[in-house]
Amino acid sequence: MVELIVTDAELVTMAPDAGPADSMLIRDGRIAAVGQAEAIRAAAPGADEVRLGGATVIPGLIDAHCHVADIGYLAAAADCGQPSAPDIAAIQARLRQAAERTPGGSWVTGAGYAEYKLREGRHPNRAELDAAVPNRPAVLYHTSLHVCVLNTAALREAGFAENQPDPPGGAFGRDSEGRLDGVLYEAPMFALFEQNIRRDLAQAGTAGAKLVETAGERLASFGLTSACDADMRRDTFAAFAEADAAGLLRQRIYGLVVHDQVDWLLGAGLQGRHSGQLATEAVKIWADGGMSSRTAAIHGTYPVPPHGSGILYFEGDELTGMVRDFDARGFQVCIHAQGDRAIEIVLDAYAAVLTPGGGNPRRHRIEHGGAMYPPLAAQAAELGIVVASQPGFLSSLGDGFAAAFPDRGDQLYAFASWQQAGITVAGSSDAPVITADPRIGIRDAIVRRTGDGRVLGPAERLTARDALALYTTQAAYACHREGEIGSLEPGKLADFVVLDQNPLETEPGQIPDIGVLATVLGGTPVYQSGSIFPGR
């Protein structure tokens, strides 16, 4: 029996009716008791003690929707984000350096730029990438991961022809003569990203586990102890399983398996819980495009380019058939739906499989739910649908939302209204689309301030406690794990974070500056900025 007392702390337990607590007893990786020091010591005389000097302890944070493998993959790319690469010349220099360390046969990869933050105020083009990396394929991913730029060698290797028409669901940037300028928007970008990560994972072989480990290290440094991987496939599953077997996972990974991989998963007998840290109990489907790219399927048309009504991936009947099938096979279904037109058909599909009055036992989810306006929210609440959404989009992408939805910007990501309607909303980042740092999401859920300083939907601001609940109790519920994680209560797993400030008492704008002193998973530290837990 291994016992440890964490004491001299301020515990934010997130438990429904918890009294004040400054101490917690951990026994064999689980929480055995929470309360005041005297009582905790009496429960475990002689146990080792770690004094936290008044630091705050919160439940381990949970990201209900991110792309863990992609985070690890892009961590190896040249950092071309702003402000560190303020102009195209700086991006070129970084790609040149990356070319020197990238093994032959692999593409030179850069990531993180936003054209509107560059000094030039535009996307770099193919000629500029050619100047940096002339003889081998190079790709530069936009921070949104909805756009990228290719050099000539990459365009050639990916099979894009100069006079190629725009594909459905996407577009190519072109110069004044109509030649490809190297910029890919949406569908061809997604296809290329998939192809690149799959190829590099295959080449990496067992290094797939390393990639997952790299992502896990980063997430642990933000206080994350659990994450839903929102597009798990056969190869990324293998990487997670290998990392799990080697003890390299720093989070509990809840896999949302891409719908076209389900037959493989079932054939291999891999549905369900594989260990305390790896599970595949949910299926991921995409109903429409993205908000920042203006491809979310909406009623009406966007007043900004590309001026369409968005992209719907399935007809209602087809989607309903898929939901029915996966529900019957025991999966929780998680559907990406951003625009109101998409959310409508997703809710109809869910309504077709849920029995009235029977609730939503598999906790079928909507991922994102950006334009879930009041009537749709009411229907979602009625059905008991769980929504995994991303408050952190507000600061990074909110100005783009406001431009795309000039009349309804205040109704997007309406967390307070959804909460009042009775919907369980889980917090998440969608990283690497934006940072995985939940401190950003918690702040944004409270203040809703865009990059330009406008408050998007002032009525939709949450209290600090409700914002923290998104990433703890409610995210745990979204993964069927509320009996094990999400709050500091006896019997639950000892997943917790030690912070240098209490987020419930910090001025909201300062929440991202709160220091993560340690992240602990099942009683074992998986990240420390200092040495709170000596010899561990």
Applying CB under 5 A, the residues found at the interface with Zn ion are 230, 430
Burial class (CB in 10 A: 0-12, 13-18, 19+), 113: buried
Question: Roughly what angle, to the nearest 10 degrees, separates helices 393-404 and 438-447?
Answer: 50
Toward Zn ion, which CB reaches closer, 398 or 503? 398
Residue type, 119: R
Closest approach, Cβ 271 to Zn ion, in A, equals 21
Residue type, 110: G
Closest approach, Cβ 422 to Zn ion, in A, equals 25
Q: Facing residues of 56 across strands?
A: 10, 499
Toward Zn ion, which CB reaches closer, 230 or 499? 230
Q: Side-chain half-sphere of 133: how many Cα atoms within 13 Å?
A: 34
Closest approach, Cβ 67 to Zn ion, in A, equals 6
Toward Zn ion, which CB reaches closer, 364 or 461? 364
Toward Zn ion, which CB reaches closer, 11 or 436? 436
Toward Zn ion, which CB reaches closer, 286 or 496? 286
Closest approach, Cβ 278 to Zn ion, in A, equals 19
Q: What is the 3-state secondary structure (H, E, C) of 258-308?
A: EHHHHHHHHHCCCCEEEECCEEEEEEEEECECCCCCCCCCCCCCCCCCCCC
Toward Zn ion, which CB reaches closer, 242 or 430? 430
Closest approach, Cβ 430 to Zn ion, in A, equals 4
Question: Roughly what angle, to the nearest 10 degrees, separates helices 207-221 and 234-245?
Answer: 70
CA distances from 318 to 287, 322, 365, 519 (A): 11, 6, 18, 43
Toward Zn ion, which CB reaches closer, 230 or 421? 230
For 396, the enclosing helix (H) or strand (E) is helix 393-404
287, 312 Cβ separation under 8 angstroms: yes
Toward Zn ion, which CB reaches closer, 294 or 492? 294
Burial class (CB in 10 A: 0-12, 13-18, 19+), 20: exposed
Dist. CA 55–CA 475, nearest whole Å: 24
Specify the DSSP class assigned to residue 226.
E
Q: How long is the chain?
A: 536
